[in-house]
Amino acid sequence: MLAENDEAGLRAVANDFHPASVAEFTEGLTVGQIWRVLDYAPLERQALILPYFPPGKQVKLIEGMGREHMTRLIEQMAPDDRADLLARLDPALVESLLPLVAQAERHDIRQLLSYPPDSAGAIMTTEYATLPAEITVSEAMCRLRAQAPDSETIYSIWILDAQRQLLGTVSLRQLVLAKPDILVGQLMQRDVATVRVDESRQQVARTLARYDVLAVPVVDSDGRLVGIVTHDDVMDVVVQEATNEVQRLGAVQPLVENYLEASFVRVWWKRAGWLSCLFVAELLTFSMLAHFEDAMASVLALSLFVPLCISTGGNSGAQAATLVTRAMALGQVENRDTWRVLRHELGMGITLGLTLGVIGFVRAALTPQQVLGNANRWDIALVISQAVAAICLWGTLVGSALPLIFRRLGFDPAFASSPFVATFVDVTGIYIYFHIAQIYVL
Amino acid sequence: MLAENDEAGLRAVANDFHPASVAEFTEGLTVGQIWRVLDYAPLERQALILPYFPPGKQVKLIEGMGREHMTRLIEQMAPDDRADLLARLDPALVESLLPLVAQAERHDIRQLLSYPPDSAGAIMTTEYATLPAEITVSEAMCRLRAQAPDSETIYSIWILDAQRQLLGTVSLRQLVLAKPDILVGQLMQRDVATVRVDESRQQVARTLARYDVLAVPVVDSDGRLVGIVTHDDVMDVVVQEATNEVQRLGAVQPLVENYLEASFVRVWWKRAGWLSCLFVAELLTFSMLAHFEDAMASVLALSLFVPLCISTGGNSGAQAATLVTRAMALGQVENRDTWRVLRHELGMGITLGLTLGVIGFVRAALTPQQVLGNANRWDIALVISQAVAAICLWGTLVGSALPLIFRRLGFDPAFASSPFVATFVDVTGIYIYFHIAQIYVL
């Protein structure tokens, strides 16, 4: 359509489709081409379409237009989408734009940009519908029509007193179904779950999921309403948190960007950092083995089972760490459950260790004597089965304890990733293995 | 309050708090005690509170009451919560209850129970508001008040023709703000994203997130509306999918239940199955090492570096597998991106391998000669650095390729878990290591 200059077609695309579809269709075009399409739509619609582009593209689109247009568009955007975008722009550019933005928006922008990036304040919007308690339903409907808030923020209406303290909430559904002459205050639900502006965005997500509400009100330390977080922004938080957790568990520093579009050097840095730390830690396996070099020299067959024994610890540790980390993220395991978790994993580690120990015994007993050299078959089988069982138990306990310890120390429990646990158990597993070996064959 | 038989207090708890709070407060009580509280609330409210209990508790609560009460309560519940609950009850009990349930509900229950558990049909509700296109806004409001659908399903209203084909949608906000005499058909948005009833629940989640809507309409193969999936149910899906992915990546069969409350034997089974498979696969490291036993006998120092080299492959593989699996779950990597991902990981594997190779070279070169025995220090350093670099590249390629291959074969890519990749790379890494060693020191 762009090549044919099909004005009617472009106008239809820009105006009639869902904003998400417009962004999807034009995402592959150059910045100049996208603006040729979007210029067929009025400013308010441009402001609706813009947030559906990926964040990097939004920055390029904003930077690719004149300063005047940029300012008007930023004024039109929803407060939360706008704060998101401005947080990614060059701070010098933002500072040069702000004087051009209308007074009310300017204040709002500075306020939202001042919250820590992971707080409720950073993801809330300052656009919402409020009513006093002492008016009737029919008057409430008139006021709502006058406020006519954008988008879905109209469905939860917040009832405030003169000091902006939150008294309760009514839904648009209640107002529509209620008799016109009863008071809003009689209709409202008083037991409203709120979050404070400095609480974490995970807390917002948990509150919304727990109460199945459309929006969570955000209050300041005096209980005054300062914003709301809507369900669609919480969904983004939940997905982003899951991504962070999965990536930490896989020993990558969380990537905010799209995997295929992030810069090579940035991704390299986030991966090489962790891999190098793990590698340096894993060098200790060499030192530990060197310590037992004489034992291996006298019974060479012992060295054949080292990778088997330590990988058992790594696998059982990764499993336990994953289960505990996820249970913590879901709120199923609190700090007070520490001993319960460890008791549970103690029992689990013993039974899992017995299971693997039996398999290990059978395999070692079936080894041809020429491979075992000077070692006695049954001695080796006893060593392997006991070492596997002990290391499996050890890995399970370490894997379940580390996330709990990390949280108590104030770190993200997902740092106790599978590779981290595996490395720790590799080094200590070698020590366990050779100590058991010394009992039987050395 | 129960001990004091404080009737007013119990009545207040059961009736005035948010249903989620009632469930939270009473969760720790016995089934009999919970019913003593809930009996102070009318049936409709009991039906609202019940879905907020954990699934296992819901089953116990239902089984703990008389058949008559059970039937009335099931009729009152929202269709999707009801289908969820009935799917967990003993099928014989459900069959004995169904004849007692009213005709319309019975048909609806049978229909919802017939969809596969991971499909849009299984999570949708059959309760939603519909209107024809050719009525005015004021008539539409009258009809909506008459339908008075429960909860938030009133906010998206679906416009159907006489054959129940979906024509478009209007929001309650639009109706409230519109002039009373214009036609619903003029107001409605035609470009509605739908899902088919047999599509996956992940597809529903992606559609809702992409369009930031409150509910996704579900249609049958003829385009007729059969249900909707609301934002709160999608949130549950997103959390459950993230849990499945994390647990698969950690080599656990996904646990549906709460980690601390699931039965020991079930959890043991889900963990022991994977651990045993990995252990049996890891036995191949023993066979592979036995194959190179002569090499180790002649240069014992070689055996000291085996865990270091193979864990490098495991860590780099886990990292790549995690990144690719997550990018696939987020829809960032499609099947057509396979070659792009592999090219990306080839470059990444080479640079990561060089980084670790340099560290390995330095460490090996600093080893005291007595530990190295009869081996030349610089030969060993060359072997270690090259083996580490090669195995790191190999791990990265295997880790990124396996999830892509698994998806093409129709498996969940998250089965290419860190322990799975690590085990595969352990065995093959030993082969690479000794082949490089043969060039320099054997």
Q: What is the pLDDT of residues B62-82, one digit of tens each?
A: 777 777 787 888 888 887 788
Among A359, A382, A361, A363, smallest CA distance to A371 is for A363
Smallest CA–CA distance, residue A99 to chain B, in Å, is 32
Q: What is the pLDDT of residues B116-168, one digit of tens each?
A: 878 888 888 888 888 999 999 999 998 888 876 665 678 889 999 988 899 99
H, E, C per residue of B390-421: HHHHHHHHHHHHHHHHHHHCCCCHHHCCHHHH
Q: Which residue of B has its CA nearest to A177?
A: B145
Q: What is the pLDDT of residues B306-359, one digit of tens each?
A: 999 989 998 899 889 888 888 888 778 888 888 999 999 999 999 999 999 999
Is residue A151 pLDDT above 60, yes or no? no
- Greater model confidence, A155 or A54: A155
Is residue B29 pLDDT above 80, yes or no? yes
Cβ <8 Å between A245 and B246: yes
Q: How many residues does chain B have?
A: 442
The CA-to-CA distance between both ends of chain A, in Å, stands at 81
Q: What is the pLDDT of residue B150?
A: 64
Smallest CA–CA distance, residue B123 to chain A, in Å, is 15
Two tokens at B156? 């998206």
Cβ <8 Å between A250 and B318: yes
Smallest CA–CA distance, residue B100 to chain A, in Å, is 30
Q: Which residue of B has its CA nearest to A338?
A: B260
CB atoms within 10 A of CB A291: 14
**From CA B431, how far away is CA A321, in angstroms rounded?**
30
Specify the 3-state DSSP secondary structure of B127.
Answer: coil
Cβ <8 Å between B332 and A154: no
Two tokens at A162? 């003169």
DSSP state for residue A253 in the 8-state scheme: P
Q: What is the pLDDT of residue A404?
A: 92
**From CA A256, how far away is CA A265, in angstroms rounded?**
14
Chain A residues touching residue B307 (CB < 8 angstroms): 282, 285-286, 289, 306-307, 310, 426, 430
Cβ <8 Å between A322 and B235: no
Residues 6+ apart with CB under 8 A from A166: A158, A159, A160, A192, A194, A217, A219, A223, A224, A225
> Burial code of B377-388, b = ≥16 C-beta within 10 A, e = fewer?
eebbbbbbbbbb
Q: Which of A290, A348, A430 sits opposite B271 (nearest CB)?
A: A348
Q: What is the pLDDT of residues A356-408, one digit of tens each?
A: 999 999 999 988 888 888 888 899 999 999 999 999 999 999 999 999 998 88
Selected residue of B173, B350, B423, B424 to mutate for chain A interface (largest A Cβ count, 10 A): B173
Q: What is the pLDDT of residues A243-301, one digit of tens each?
A: 888 877 777 777 666 777 778 888 888 888 888 988 988 889 998 998 998 888 888 88
Q: What is the pLDDT of residues B154-213, one digit of tens each?
A: 888 999 998 889 999 998 888 988 888 999 999 998 888 899 988 988 889 888 888 888
Would you call B5 exposed, middle or buried from its count of C-beta atoms within 10 A (0-12, 13-18, 19+)? Answer: exposed
Selected residue of B315, B358, B393, B434 to mutate for chain A interface (largest A Cβ count, 10 A): B315
Smallest CA–CA distance, residue A402 to chain B, in Å, is 15
Q: Do A152 and A257 touch, CB atoms closer than 8 A? A: no
Cβ <8 Å between A352 and B271: yes
DSSP for B340-396 reads HHHHHHHHHHHHHHHHHHHHHHHHHHTS-HHHHTTS-HHHHHHHHHHHHHHHHHHHH
ipTM rounded to 2 decimals: 0.73
Q: Which of A235, A272, A324 sits opposite B238 (nearest CB)?
A: A235
Cβ <8 Å between A243 and B330: yes
Chain B residues touching residue A363 (CB < 8 angstroms): 283, 286
Two tokens at A430? 């070698």
Q: In what order do the strands lie in the sheet with A215-219?
A: A195-196, A215-219, A225-230
When pLDDT is averaged across residues A49-61 and rounded to a whole number, the result is 81
Chain A residues touching residue B297 (CB < 8 angstroms): 300
Cβ <8 Å between B307 and A285: yes
Is residue B32 pLDDT above 70, yes or no? yes
CB atoms within 10 A of CB B85: 21
Is residue A138 pLDDT above 70, yes or no? yes
Q: What is the pLDDT of residues A184-224, one digit of tens each?
A: 999 998 888 899 988 988 889 888 888 888 899 999 888 88
Residue with token string 């309409």: B217
Q: How far is CA A260 from CA A389, B82, B324, B342, in A?
A: 42, 42, 9, 11
Residue with token string 């012992």: A302
CB atoms within 10 A of CB B168: 17
Specify the 3-state DSSP secondary structure of B168.
Answer: strand
Among B227, B247, B240, B45, smallest CA distance to B126 is for B227
Q: Do B245 and B325 touch, CB atoms closer than 8 A? A: yes
Mean pLDDT of chain A: 85
Q: Do B414 and B307 touch, CB atoms closer than 8 A? A: no
Cβ <8 Å between A318 and B250: yes
Q: Which of B260, B347, B419 sits opposite A337 (nearest CB)?
A: B260
Smallest CA–CA distance, residue B99 to chain A, in Å, is 32
Q: What is the pLDDT of residue A150?
A: 64
Selected residue of B275, B330, B338, B362 to mutate for chain A interface (largest A Cβ count, 10 A): B275
Q: Which of B152, B177, B235 sits opposite A235 (nearest CB)?
A: B235
Give the angle subtended at the CA of B256 by the CAs of B250 and B258, to the nearest 5°: 90
Q: Which of A171, A246, A330 sits opposite B249 (nearest CB)?
A: A246
A46 Cα distance to chain centroid: 29
Report how many helices (DSSP H) and strands (DSSP E) chain B contains, helices first. 23, 6
Q: Which of A191, A249, A280 sits opposite B18 (nearest CB)?
A: A191
**From CA A22, how far away is CA A105, in angstroms rounded?**
26
Q: What is the pLDDT of residue B127?
A: 83
Q: Do A45 and A16 touch, CB atoms closer than 8 A? A: no
Two tokens at B291? 């194959």
Q: What is the pLDDT of residue B183?
A: 93
Q: Do B425 and B314 touch, CB atoms closer than 8 A? A: yes
Cβ <8 Å between A214 and B235: no
Q: In what order do the strands lie in the sheet with B195-196?
A: B195-196, B215-219, B225-230
Q: What is the pLDDT of residue B152?
A: 61
Is the pTM value of this prediction over 0.80? no
CB atoms within 10 A of CB A215: 24
Specify the 3-state DSSP secondary structure of B160.
Answer: strand
Check the CA dihedral A7-A9-A11-A13 and report its sign. negative
Residue with token string 């039987």: A440
Cβ <8 Å between A371 and B290: yes
Q: What is the pLDDT of residue A136?
A: 93
Chain B residues touching residue A22 (CB < 8 angstroms): none
Specify the 3-state DSSP secondary structure of B36.
Answer: helix
Q: How many residues does chain A have?
A: 442
DSSP state for residue B50 in the 8-state scheme: G
Two tokens at A311? 């990988």
- Greater model confidence, B163 or A67: B163
